[in-house]
Amino acid sequence: MKFSRPRGTNDLFGERMERWHDVEGRIVRLVRGYGYSEIRTPVFEMTDLFIRAVGKATDIVSKEMYTFSDKKGRSLTLRPENTASVMRAFLENGLHRKGGISRFYYMGPMFRYDRPQAGRYRQFHQVGAEAIGSSNPAVDAEIIDISLSIYSVCGFPPLDVRLNSVGCPVCRPAFKEILIRSLAGYGDELCQNCRERGMVNPLRIFDCKKCGEVKKKLPFITDHLCRECGEHFSRLQEILDGLGIRYTLDPLLVRGLDYYTKTAFEIIHPGLGAQNALSGGGRYDGLAEDCGGGHIPAVGFSAGMERLLETLPESFPGETGDGRVDVCIILIGDSGSMQALSLAGRLRESGLSVLTDLSGRSMKKKLGAASEAGAGFAVFLGPDELEREKATVKNMMTGSQEVLAFDGIGPFIERERDNRGE
């Protein structure tokens, strides 16, 4: 091999691709059922968008972004997350002028130069939802409900919700000063990263995996919320209680992005050990202003598709298709390719999935390929059949065969499938 895929990326094909489509289909049906419509943004944006939105002191911006210059010297970055891009698109396309709540969902690849491990890659895929235009904590509850429901429709057992409030520009500056003073007493116990960024963004220590013992000794932001944030957090809990959504208050939860305000949450799988966070999100009421717009409250979440696929329960039932075809058309001899493709098109118009074997291989290998593709029926086209516009149709399950006119093949297969209860 001269080439191999870059570290931290994957090739998707076969059964894994079919399962991917299955999960995506379930998610799309779910979020559309909540009134969310799809939005697609470019895979690269101006670098400053992510610096301003995500935060210069975050690991994403300082260590993990794929940044490059175009031919005119402009700095561009492959998107490391999609919320900033959605907000940019929302403002740039004048969607804020419609008023009310705009609800979007997205699916697509993201890019971070991170250490590859189970469920974490350098090119990874996220599904997410954003509700823009309301500060009502009921919208936060809706987003949490959607994020939980995604795993429910994929057969997961009940999962845990970790919930916190990270304050707002009114109460957070005062808390940062309190936190900086408190951190001064633990300098020797902090990791190098936290010592370096402690004065710039002390809240990042709560996102550090190495300073767990120090975090437990620090003051919690929930004890220093302003009145508005406190009331918002209390009301959100009341709504979640009313909906029967179980959650655990986690004062150490801050998420890894600077744009979060008020609500922050994660969906946790208790059986996965240290890497147990499946998805997360929160409110970002100041992001529109960071992107050059006015004050527009918003809340959203994102979930990693790779992590979801890799943790699917063994009992996961496929629904949207198993990659199998209904019919395999097998040519006998060297001629008849055009007729075979024409017949395949007619069968597809009747709702059947059709594989046309044009490989020129032996009959044994063609039958093996039909079996491997899961075809329920094989249609044999030899010189005699082609001349009479007829074909031999074999039921791959029973072994029975019939010679049928082209027009009768589709109805025959449908009757056979109905008799089997398919």
Task: Report CA-CA distances (Å) from 45 to 51, 67, 238.
Answer: 11, 10, 39
Domain containing residue 364: CATH number: 3.40.50.800
Same domain, 304 and 335: no
Residue type, 342: S
CB-based contact 97:244 (threshold 8 Å):
no
Residues 165 and 263: their CA atoms lie apart, in Å, by 5
Residue type, 285: D
In order along its 422 residues, the chain shows pLDDT tens digits of: 799 999 999 999 988 998 999 999 999 999 999 999 999 999 999 999 999 998 887 889 989 999 999 999 999 999 999 999 999 999 999 999 988 999 999 999 999 998 888 778 999 999 999 999 999 999 999 999 999 999 999 999 999 999 999 999 999 999 989 988 888 888 778 888 787 766 677 887 887 778 878 888 889 999 999 999 999 999 999 999 999 999 999 998 987 677 899 999 999 998 776 678 899 999 999 999 999 999 999 999 999 999 999 999 887 766 544 557 899 999 888 788 888 888 999 899 988 889 998 888 888 998 898 888 889 999 999 888 888 888 999 999 888 999 999 999 999 998 888 776 65
Residue type (1 letter), 96: H
pLDDT score for 46:
97
Is the same domain home to 42 and 141? yes
Residues 6+ away with beta carbon under 8 Å from 83: 53, 128, 130, 257, 259, 284, 287, 300, 302
Looking at the structure, do residues 58 and 84 belong to the same domain, yes or no? yes
Q: How many domains does the chain have?
A: 2
Q: Which domain holds residue 38?
A: 14-171+225-310
Collapsed DSSP state (helix, strand, coil) of residue 4: coil
Are 282 and 166 contained in the same domain? yes
Contact 316, 309 (CB under 8 A): no
Same domain for 151 and 70, yes or no, is: yes
Q: Are residues 257 and 342 in the same domain?
A: no
Which pTM value belongs to this model?
A: 0.85
Amino acid of residue 187: G
**Residue 331 parent element (H or E):** strand 327-331
pLDDT of residue 320: 44
CA distance 55 to 38: 26
Question: Does residue 243 share a domain with residue 377?
Answer: no
Same domain, 105 and 159: yes
Q: What is the pLDDT of residue 230?
A: 97
